[in-house]
Structure 1
Amino acid sequence: MQKHFPEKAVHGGRIIALRQKYGPDLLDVSASMNPFLPLISCDFQEIDLCVYPDDTYSALKDKIGHVFSRPTDEICVGNGSAELIRVYCNVLLSPNDTVRIDPPTFGEYGLSAKLAGANVVSGRDADLRIICNPNNPTGILRSREEMLALLDDCTKKNSRLFVDEAFMELAARNESISDIRSDDLFVMRSITKCFSVPGIRFGFGFGPADLIEKIETVRTPWTVNAFAEAFTMRALDHYDDLVLSAEKISAEREWYFARLTELDLSFEPSSVNYILVHLGRNASEFTESMLEHGVLVRDCTSFGLFESIRISVETREKNLRVVEALSACLR
């Protein structure tokens, strides 16, 4: 009997192909990267590509453990957040388990749960609850107090909590629960967004040692390549510099809120470096119009939001370009 496969999750990341069509000056505000980066120097010529990476990634885990105050046996690594989501679900879920995922949110959660044979539900108790905090695409940030209450509720109901904090450094890191040690909690992080390196696939996570051992067993050997390992080691030396990034993003986001209000557009009260904008019209058609004006926004149809787009908070010069394009397309 042929196995049923769910449909692949739809993501952004189309900029390479679209620049071939619309030109190299096409502005990408669909991917939500940190526009105010720390200065990081990493000489990839020093990397010896003639040897395998250390598959235990002991030095890398030591660095992560030092920054986040976690023992290395409670740290796992992977080829981006997506791999860790997939591996976590393969390890934890059995056929017909239930996973609570409240939309709209990142599509890989539901896909990974379904590939593991689980049933995805929303708005009710389940064997596993997955939460993106701050959420993608809304930018809504749940407080540390609220997250700890959710964890306590999961523990009482004999369920688990998976928290994706990929954008936390660009919001309010004091709201993170990555320091909490619980048998029922797994917290995932990424360097993609905060250090603006989507081409270097690296994610990491924190959880109980027995769970981490299983994740490290199931993930593909040598999944973190030498370039990703080297860059992450350097980037983590600048982790505290991201506080300034978050402050600059916050100021620019408030400026953006005012401009969107002037355009009579409604939006979610984001706490991070992207804003979910409600258009009151077809999002896919509007996205195409924005492309004609030299700007790529994130069409949120794939999130089930057929009249909404997501735009990243960039430098003022780029943000002005987006506002001008929005104004033109709204006429």
Structure 2
Amino acid sequence: MLNHGGKLRAASVRYQIPLSDWVDLSTGVNPHCYPIPEIPLVSWNRLPEDDDGLIEAATVYYGCNSILPVAGSQAAIQSLPVIRRRLFPDSNTVAIPAIGYREHFHAWSQQGYEILTYEDEPTEAQLHQADVVVIINPNNPTGHLIDPEKLLMWHNQLSKRQAWLVIDEAFMDCSPEHSLTDKVPCSGLILLRSIGKFFGLAGIRLGFVLAEKSVLTCLQEHLGPWTINGPSRFIAQQSLKDEIWQQQNMTRLKTSGNRLLKLLQEHFSKVYGTPMFATVFTDRACVLHELLCKQGIFTRLLDDESGIRFGLPRNTDDWHRLASGLQRTC
């Protein structure tokens, strides 16, 4: 099992600081989640049904009618290597970002694929060699964003030899103009979207796969029935329909993201940000992470210990504590 942000209880025990006294910046999840409406009793009492309106709501939100709900994009990340091998038995090579959400690397390597790593973007040689190219757009944790025209050019190149372009758009909601959702269905193009990040609903474990029907059918058969529970389906449906909240949330996240970026730039030279998180690259990452933890400020130390990712503070007190903590630490 890989390590991820969000393990606040373990940090509380280690540093002997009560849970209520922490500023938790360890995830990129929106700290102001969608307000949960009253959940109908039927959502608890009946088995989930595919025709409950969730897919229709997602179709409107993403502008795509070839879509499958899954138990978080993590479920798709773990399953796609199996599906690829089933559909294309000779597949062997996958290009994946060297710095990025590590579950992609883990899932493909677990299925025996040869992994080619790249920095911000795959090389021409890798685009010619790989059977699957995985893009995280924008990248988590670097924030690197790839232009859609370039992605479409890569897809056209890959599709000619039945190679896949898999794009993880978990943090794309604040930059819809960079999304390729309106290009699906298209042969060999697979997009992953998440309800957890933008809507702040990580706990309901729901995401979507956008792809051609043959891929979705194979994926659905692999995952089996009732992968999303009834209450989660209801909550997600309401959030996807609430355009007023979405616009207000977009404005709030962009304002907070810019504020976080400026705050970190006062102390660090290498800072990369998105509306939902910012990452600092420094050779003092381990030391800084430890010092902040001792002040009850929980950040995400990158897997290779080259930097620290900061999520958004929840309220005024959290912003003040982060500013003061950075002042003392840096």
User: Which one of the candidate residues 216, 233, 236 is aligned to 1:232?
Assistant: 236
CA contact (8 A) 1:95 1:118 kept: no
CA contact (8 A) 1:178 1:206 kept: yes
Matched, 1:212 2:216: yes
Alignment of 1:91-170 (within 5 A): 91-93=83-85, 94=89, 97-123=92-118, 124-125=126-127, 126-170=130-174
User: Which one of the candidate residues 48, 51, 58 is aligned to 1:53?
Assistant: 48
Describe the SS at the equivalent of 2:192.
Answer: strand
CA contact (8 A) 2:54 2:237 kept: yes
C-alpha separation between the residues in 1 aligned to 2:224 and 2:62? 25
Structure 2 counterpart of 1:273? 276
CA contact (8 A) 1:96 1:117 kept: no
Describe the SS at the equivalent of 1:163.
Answer: strand
Describe the SS at the equivalent of 2:252.
Answer: helix
C-alpha separation between the residues in 1 aligned to 2:145 and 2:250? 14
Question: What code does the residue aligned with 1:244 have?
Answer: Q
Instruction: Describe the superposition over 1:122-166 as per-residue Cα deviations: whole angstroms up to 9, x where unpaired.
Output: 242300011111110011222222222222232245411001111
Question: What RMSD in Å do the two structures reach over aligned CA positions?
Answer: 2.1
> Structure 1 stretch 82-91 or stretch 9-18: which is displaced more?
9-18
Structure 2 counterpart of 1:323? 323
> Structure 1 stretch 239-248 or stretch 80-89: which is displaced more?
239-248
CA contact (8 A) 1:96 1:119 kept: no
Matched, 1:62 2:61: no
**What are the ranges of 5 or more consecutive residues in structure 2 without an aligned counterpart?**
119-125
User: Which one of the candidate residues 297, 300, 322 is aligned to 1:298?
Assistant: 300
Quote the offset at 1:78 in angstroms. 1.0
- Per the alignment, do residues 169 and 43 of structure 1 end up closer, same or farther by CA in structure 2, a change over 3 Å counting? same
Describe the SS at the equivalent of 2:202.
Answer: coil
CA contact (8 A) 1:101 1:122 kept: yes
Identity, in percent, stands at 22
- Per the alignment, do residues 67 and 264 of structure 1 end up closer, same or farther by CA in structure 2, a change over 3 Å counting? closer
C-alpha separation between the residues in 2 aligned to 1:298 and 1:86? 23
CA contact (8 A) 2:292 2:298 kept: yes
Quote the offset at 1:67 in angstroms. 2.5
User: Which one of the candidate residues 74, 87, 90 is aligned to 2:79?
Assistant: 87
Question: What code does the residue aligned with 1:159 have?
Answer: A
Question: What code does the residue aligned with 1:219 have?
Answer: L
C-alpha separation between the residues in 1 aligned to 2:160 and 2:81? 21
C-alpha separation between the residues in 2 aligned to 1:36 and 1:49? 25
C-alpha separation between the residues in 2 aligned to 1:104 and 1:57? 39
* TM-score, normalization by structure 2: 0.87
